[in-house]
């Protein structure tokens, strides 16, 4: 075997690495998740400079670079600000459970918040019936099933008595 060959063959070794991990949610996210788990409530945090209410709460307002300290209870209802209809299966990153398509995935601005929460919007068989501005409510798991993460939210669902504009 020559040591002077210009190119050495490189062997690929395919392996699958399983890397379980945990990370600390921190003071702000922990408080947010504990309120959600124990009391079924959503809390955002208000910037003392620009007044915007962030959800999930962040310790610093990114545009203002100031510390947020005023907790604000938000509504359990909100407004759909954007959505998409999913025609491909999506594996929920928090549960590992697949959601069978088609379904609607949307951004919801809870009443009192200035940022959105992205989640499934349950519309039944009429998955293409959403519109921007549609009013929705959050559906949580029962208290005894909640574990303190965003999978405690099952989905959002539309409020009754609304009609799609232009229909």
Our finding on whether 61 is near Zn ion (CB under 5 A) is yes
Two structure tokens written together for 126: 């009429």
Nearer to Zn ion, 61 or 130 (CB): 61
Judged by CB under 5 A, the stretch of 4-12, 59-67, 85-93, 158-166 that binds Zn ion is 59-67
Tell me if 121 sits within 8 A of 60, measured CB to CB: no
Smallest distance from Zn ion to CB 67, Å? 10
Our finding on whether 64 is near Zn ion (CB under 5 A) is yes
| Geometric angle at alpha carbon 159, from 158 and 164, rounded to 5° | 70
Q: In sequence order, what are the residues at sequence separation of 6 or more whose Cβ sits closer than 8 angstroms to the Cβ of residue 98?
A: 89, 90, 91, 92
Considering only residues 49, 84, 91, 95, which one is a binding residue for Zn ion as defined by CB under 5 A?
49
Judged by CB under 5 A, the stretch of 55-63, 89-97, 123-131, 139-147 that binds Zn ion is 55-63
Angstrom distances, CA of residue 38 to CA of 46, 144, 150, 152, 157: 22, 9, 13, 11, 22
Considering only residues 27, 39, 50, 94, which one is a binding residue for Zn ion as defined by CB under 5 A?
50
Q: In sequence order, what are the residues at sequence separation of 6 or more whose Cβ sits closer than 8 angstroms to the Cβ of residue 53?
A: 44, 45, 46, 47, 72, 74, 112, 113, 114, 115
Nearer to Zn ion, 47 or 80 (CB): 47
Nearer to Zn ion, 46 or 119 (CB): 46
Smallest distance from Zn ion to CB 61, Å? 3
Judged by CB under 5 A, the stretch of 13-21, 63-71, 124-132, 144-152 that binds Zn ion is 63-71
Our finding on whether 47 is near Zn ion (CB under 5 A) is yes
| Residues of the shown chain interacting with Zn ion in the complex, contacts defined by CB under 5 A | 47, 49-50, 61, 64
């Amino acid at each position: 075997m020559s040591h002077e060959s210009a190119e050495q063959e490189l062997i690929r070794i395919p392996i699958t690495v399983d890397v379980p991990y945990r990370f600390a949610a921190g003071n702000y996210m922990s408080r947010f998740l504990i309120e959600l788990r124990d009391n079924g409530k959503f809390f955002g945090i208000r910037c003392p400079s620009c007044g915007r209410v962030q959800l999930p709460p962040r310790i610093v307002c990114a545009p203002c670079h100031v510390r947020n300290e005023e907790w604000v209870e938000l509504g359990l209802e909100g407004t759909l600000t954007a959505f998409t209809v999913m025609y491909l299966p999506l594996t929920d990153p928090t549960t590992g459970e697949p959601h069978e398509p088609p379904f609607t995935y949307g951004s919801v601005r809870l009443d009192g918040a200035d940022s959105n929460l992205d989640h499934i919007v349950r519309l039944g068989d009429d998955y293409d019936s959403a519109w921007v501005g549609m009013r929705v409510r959050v559906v949580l798991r029962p208290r005894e099933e909640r574990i303190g993460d965003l999978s405690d939210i099952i989905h959002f669902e539309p409020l009754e008595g609304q009609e799609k504009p232009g229909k």
